[in-house]
């Protein structure tokens, strides 16, 4: 059937528009709306890209986009938005990592400072203990020097001398005793 024959089969029913004072263009629009409704071509959606109405086809599902160019344009916009979001997320993740690293560095500095203070305190305590041990050895040397000469291998005096030497330098106990006038043999 040709377009001319199709046009002739459809009666032009203008009678209902007589006396309505509608312009010919308004009558054509109204007839087009009626034809769409009569033949099932109602507006079923709106193109998400351009906003044009999408009419339901006679058969099959309603298209989501009005044409293929709108579909590809919409897809490209979405991809650009996704990339922008991914970049924003990666920038935010980098900022978070930077904040965490700065926090870790600050913690490390505090721990290093605390370790330095504790080492200094340990050295002072060891020096006090060493001086206390030397005072004990000096007291033994002044009161009973024979305890040093006759000290058993695993006795208190030998442990005292070893502890003094381990907290200072080797031979500190012997030097201190010799300086104080001890002339006997040193226990080993």
**Res 90 pLDDT > 80:** yes
pLDDT reported for residue 7 = 47
Does residue 186 belong to any structural domain of this protein?
A: no
Instruction: Name which of 52, 86, 85 is nearest 69 in CA terms.
Output: 52
Question: Quick check: is 5 in a domain?
Answer: no
- Domain holding 142, by residue range, is 69-179
Above pLDDT 90, what percent of the chain?
25
* Six-digit token string for 104: 């870790």
Mean per-residue pLDDT over the chain, rounded: 82
Q: What is the pLDDT of residues 95-115, one digit of tens each?
A: 999 999 999 999 999 999 999
pLDDT at 120: 95
At 36 the pLDDT is 59
Asked if pLDDT for residue 15 goes beyond 60, the answer is yes
In a domain, 23, yes or no: yes
Strand, coil or helix: 56: coil
């Amino acid at each position: 059937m040709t377009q001319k024959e199709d046009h002739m089969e459809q009666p032009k029913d203008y009678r209902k528009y007589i006396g309505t004072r509608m312009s010919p263009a308004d009558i054509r629009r109204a007839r087009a709306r009626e034809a769409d409704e009569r033949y099932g071509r109602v507006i079923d959606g709106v193109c998400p890209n351009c906003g044009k109405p999408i009419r339901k086809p006679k058969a099959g599902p309603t298209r989501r986009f009005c044409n293929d160019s709108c579909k590809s344009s919409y897809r490209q916009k979405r991809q650009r938005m996704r990339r922008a979001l991914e970049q924003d997320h990666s920038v935010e993740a980098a900022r978070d990592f930077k904040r965490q690293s700065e926090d870790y560095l600050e913690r490390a500095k505090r721990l290093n400072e605390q370790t330095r203070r504790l080492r200094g305190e340990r050295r002072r305590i060891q020096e006090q203990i060493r001086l206390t041990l030397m005072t004990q050895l000096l007291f033994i040397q002044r009161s009973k020097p024979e305890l040093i000469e006759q000290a058993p291998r695993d006795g208190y005096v030998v442990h005292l001398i070893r502890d003094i030497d381990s907290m200072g330098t080797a031979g500190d106990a012997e030097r201190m005793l010799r300086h104080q006038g001890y002339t006997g043999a040193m226990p080993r």
